Amino acid sequence: MRYCGNCGKKIPEKSKFCVHCGTRREDLDGSVNEQNQVPQPEAPEVIRRFGGDQVTDAVFKLMDPGDVFCGYTIVRMLNKDPEGIKYIADKEGKRYVLKLFFKYKYSDLESIMDLQQRLKRMGKLSSAQTARVAEINQTHDPIFMATEFVSGDSLARIKAYNKERLSENFVREVAKQLVQTAIAVRKQGLSLHELTPSGIMVPEDSNTITVLSSGIKYEEVDERDEVFNLGVIIAQLLSGNVLYKASYSSENLKLHKFSHIPGVTVSMNKILSDCLHRNILHRNTSLEALLRGLNNLPPVEEDEVFAPKGASQSLAKLQDQPLPLPKRHLEWNFWLIIGLIVAGLALFFIFGLPAIQESGGLVGDIRNIITGTPDPLETNPPDLPQ
């Protein structure tokens, strides 16, 4: 309950005026506010610093080359993602990838806990195929993470501009390293279920992969879903189809049956079919089982290459060959019925029609009924036996 500021009597909480004296609520609130107004001192001018309060602004201020952030000299901006902004930076003669996390993305308690757990576990991650974490600062505003800079090209870029490098032997090596990395990451409570080819770097002079930190997530995921995602990456790398992203996307493979990839060995296709089964109960049950299957694959030279039927002829040979004449299929059922009808009509006209037309037959009976002539059998009945 509230009290009227004019008469002092109780009034309902949501009333627009006092029911006793008629004073409107706006007048009461205005008079109270004027009495309670206290002169406020002018706010001091805030000097914005990089890595400081500018993250709380409505517009995030980007850093320019040469700016210094917590000892890191900015070289250039790398890219943005939903979590934050990445920069290439130098510190003490070494190059790093500096990631500043957006503050508004972690405004609720659950998101803050997820980020803290992810950064904490990534700091303990020790794998030869993951980018080494140099520094994590969760107390700074904004939160940032620095990882070692990895040179080379991503698998997505190699797929787009250097497809010749993606031989089956190369992809097999990449697949084994991916599974080993997924096992090491999973031991720390992390996951690679959202990893894509753009988050995997490969140097030009070797086949050793490096999984970037953006592909590592803190989330409880079924191990068979991780097997499925790794199978999607391997299938996209091996596929020679122009529409490989749509044909071997996770959404499409969860709805349609996996189709074997032409030009890839039968054993490798069998591995992929076990990874990409639509029914999760029929997939590989663990990453260790997938790794054993990859290690037990026969050499590519000794294995049979899958080729669909009719794919051995080239397009040029098909163009040079004359078009075959259309095949004429005889409809035996139709012609059999027509023959039976014709034979029935012939038998009717040969044997049935004369019997109908003779005296005393069906035609004569119909004629007698129409003309009223008595039946000769009734007028002259045959002699009955004694």
- Pairing verdict, β 10-11 and 144-148: unpaired
Is 24 in contact with 4 (CB distance < 8 Å)?
Answer: no
**Residue 126 shares a structural domain with residue 179:** no
Q: Is residue 344 part of a domain?
A: no
Q: How many residues does the structure list for the chain? A: 386
Supply the DSSP string of 311-362, one letter for each residue: -SS-HHHHHHSPPPPPP----HHHHHHHHHHHHHHHHIIIIIHHHHHSTTSH
Q: Domain for residue 382, yes or no?
A: no
Domain's final residue, options 308, 338, 360:
308
Residues 173, 281, single domain; the answer is: yes
Same domain? For 296 and 191 the reply is yes
Residue 225: what pLDDT?
93
144, 204: one domain: no
Asked if residue 300 belongs to a domain, the reply is yes
Residue where the block lists tokens 């009509």: 345
Q: Which residues contact 239 (CB under 8 A, 6 or more apart)?
A: 247, 248, 261
Residue ending a domain, choose from 243, 276, 308: 308
Residues 157, 116 within the same domain:
no
For residues 240 and 117, state if they share a domain.
no
**Do 71 and 207 share a structural domain?**
no
Q: Report how far residue 198's alpha carbon sits from residue 158's, in angstroms, rounded to the nearest whole number.
A: 10
Please report, for the domain that includes residue 100, its CATH number.
3.30.200.20
Q: Looking at the domain assignment, is residue 316 inside a domain?
A: no
Question: For the residues of 69-111, what is the DSSP string, one character each?
Answer: ETTEEEEEEEEEETTEEEEEEEETTEEEEEEEEPSGGG-SHHH
C-alpha–C-alpha distance, residues 288 and 159, integer Å? 27
pLDDT of residue 50: 44
Residues 107 and 180 both lie in one domain: no
CATH of the domain at 253: 1.10.510.10
Q: Which residues contact 136 (CB under 8 A, 6 or more apart)?
A: 119, 120, 122, 123, 144, 145, 146
- Residues 6 or more apart whose CB falls under 8 angstroms from that of 134 comprise 96, 146, 147, 148
Are the CB atoms for 146 and 135 separated by under 8 Å?
Answer: yes
- 106: in domain: yes
User: In 3D, which of 195, 262, 260 has the Cα closest to residue 227?
Assistant: 195
- pLDDT on residue 48: 44
CA distance 140 to 68: 15
What whole-number distance in Å separates Cα of residue 302 and Cα of residue 321?
34
Q: Write down the pLDDT at residue 59.
A: 45
Q: Are residues 230 and 293 in the same domain?
A: yes
Residue 246 lies in a domain: yes
Residue pair 55/141 in contact by the 8 Å Cβ criterion: yes
Q: Return d(Cα 68, Cα 304) in angstroms, integer.
A: 57
CA-CA distance, 381 to 357, in Å (whole number)? 21
**87 and 189, same domain (yes or no):** no
Residue that is last in its domain, among 112, 132, 148: 148
Distance separating alpha carbons of residues 173 and 32, to the nearest angstrom: 76
pLDDT tens-digit profile, the chain (386 residues): 677 777 777 777 777 777 667 677 666 555 544 455 556 566 555 444 444 444 444 446 788 899 999 889 999 998 888 888 999 999 988 999 999 988 776 777 777 788 888 888 888 887 888 888 888 888 777 888 899 998 889 999 999 999 999 999 999 999 999 999 999 999 999 999 889 999 999 998 888 999 988 888 888 889 999 999 999 999 999 998 888 888 899 899 988 889 899 999 999 999 999 999 988 888 988 999 999 999 999 999 999 998 876 555 554 554 556 666 666 665 778 888 888 999 888 887 777 666 666 655 555 666 666 666 665 555 555 555 54
Closest alpha carbon to 175 in 274, 305, 258: 274
Tell me the two tokens of residue 83. Answer: 């979590």
- Does a structural domain hold residue 17? no
Residue 130 sits in the same domain as residue 182: no
On whether residue 167 sits in a domain, the answer given is yes
Tokens of 192: 């690679």
What residues form DSSP beta bridges with 2? 11
Structurally, the chain folds into a number of domains equal to: 2
3 state DSSP class of 130:
strand
> What is the span of the domain harbouring residue 139?
63-148
Are residues 97 and 132 located together in one domain of the fold? yes
Q: How high is the pLDDT of residue 47?
A: 45
pLDDT of residue 185: 92
